[in-house]
Homo-oligomer: A and B are copies of this chain.
Amino acid sequence: MRVAIDAMGGDLAPQATVEGALLYDKETVGKHKLVLFGDNDVIEQEIENHHFSKPNNISIYHTTQLVEMSDQPTVALKQKKDSSLMKGLQMHHEGEVDAFVSAGSTGAQMVGSLFILGRIEGVHRPALASFLPTEGGVVLLIDVGANVDCKPVHLLQFGIMGGIFINYIYGIKNPRIGLLSIGEEKSKGNEVVLAAYNIMAAKIPNFVGNVEGRDILHGRADVIVMDGFVGNSILKFAESVMGVFGTTFKRNLGKNLFSLLGAFMVRHAFKEMKSSFDYQEYGGVPLLGVNGISIISHGRSTAKAIKNAIRVAVNMSEKQVNQHILEELKHRGSE
């Protein structure tokens, strides 16, 4: 298959994006065609920097524009048609490539994916998912920012799509689907959640009911469904916690040599803990529900993250996730 990579997108681009593609190519021994979208000269230079001669299965698609983080997504969609981001999506839509990966502006990628690729038949609203580590593994939160003001049927569909994704891509069979609420009882929640509970209980076989904020990290569900406003707030909060903890911990250590030595001795356990909160392992998550494969990677994606994002893209295609979404939503995707 052919995967398009937005070589210009992300804080560490084009270095990390090009290197990530090269790493993936090396691991898979040139099995897939990779197309790097972006400035031809810049990309060629990057490839040279990595002392690679460009393998035959890697090509460059020259684009002249760049979507900046400050660009309004809808404006970028209209005015930056020749950006690596929008052109990559366009070529995917036209069937020139089979998937698209970017670590660029999440907002622009969401808007671009939605308008250029369109939606899978039956999907009301494509959704963005993200992993958080739990005590025993990971949990997928969906939606984490693509949709606010969701209706109950949207939450139902998020649950179905999230379940399909981690089943086929991460091998979690019969994933347990939960609904974020402010109490475990089905009588707890806001209007939308109360209604969503009943629909999800009727339509999702492995629905485990409400999950409270305190249980997100305890692994009581494999997928937790929520409105994108709530999901975005919780995800960003979670991402900031490690940093704040590090700062507070260091301050508390003070200048005491004894405790500084202790900190040195536990640095490994700390690093492990931090890496469990590391998005790089997951690489990226697809905008689920769009009629194509658009993998959204973290803005700070390293080469390793990009490599893993390409793997997700390939798996999405090989495991026919979108086909499963289409079929499942036909059966269970409406009220």
Residues of A within 8 A of B (CB): 133-135, 145, 148-149, 180-182, 189-191, 193, 212-218, 226-230, 232-241, 244-245, 247-249, 252-254, 258-259, 261-266, 268-270, 272-273, 276
Contacts and interface: CB of A to CB of B under 8 A. Distances in A.
B248 A273 contact: yes
Contact of A240 (B218, B227, B254): B218
A183 to B, nearest CB: 8
A213 B235 contact: yes
Contacts of A180: 233
Given A259-B265, A265-B265, A213 B233 contact: yes
B233 A218 contact: no
Contact of A272 (B189, B218, B252): B252
24 contacts: A133-B248, A135-B244, A148-B190, A149-B190, A182-B229, A190-B227, A193-B229, A212-B233, A212-B236, A214-B240, A226-B233, A229-B230, A230-B230, A230-B233, A233-B234, A234-B234, A237-B237, A237-B238, A245-B245, A249-B269, A252-B270, A254-B269, A261-B265, A262-B263
Contacts of A236: 212-214
Contacts of A233: 180, 182, 212-213, 226, 230, 233-234
Top-5 shortest CB links A-B: A262-B265, A213-B236, A252-B269, A148-B190, A213-B233
Nearest to A187: B72
A272 B253 CA distance: 9
Contacts of A273: 245, 248-249, 252
Given A214-B236, A230-B230, 5 more contacts: A216-B237, A241-B241, A252-B273, A259-B266, A259-B269
Nearest to A226: B233
Max chain B C-beta neighbours (<10 A), residue from A230, A264, A276:
A230
A20 B272 CA distance: 41
A143 B232 CA distance: 18
Contacts of A248: 133, 135, 272-273, 276
A191 B149 contact: yes
Max chain B C-beta neighbours (<10 A), residue from A214, A238, A240:
A214
Contacts of A133: 248
A232 B262 contact: no
Nearest to A228: B182
Contacts of A181: 229
Nearest to A272: B252
A265 B239 CA distance: 27
A239 B262 contact: no
A233 B141 CA distance: 13
Contacts of A190: 148-149, 227, 229
Given A259-B265, A265-B262, A269-B249, A237 B240 contact: no
B217 A244 contact: yes
A240 B266 contact: no
Nearest to A264: B262
B213 A232 contact: yes
A248 B276 CA distance: 9
A233 B215 CA distance: 10
A135 B249 CA distance: 10
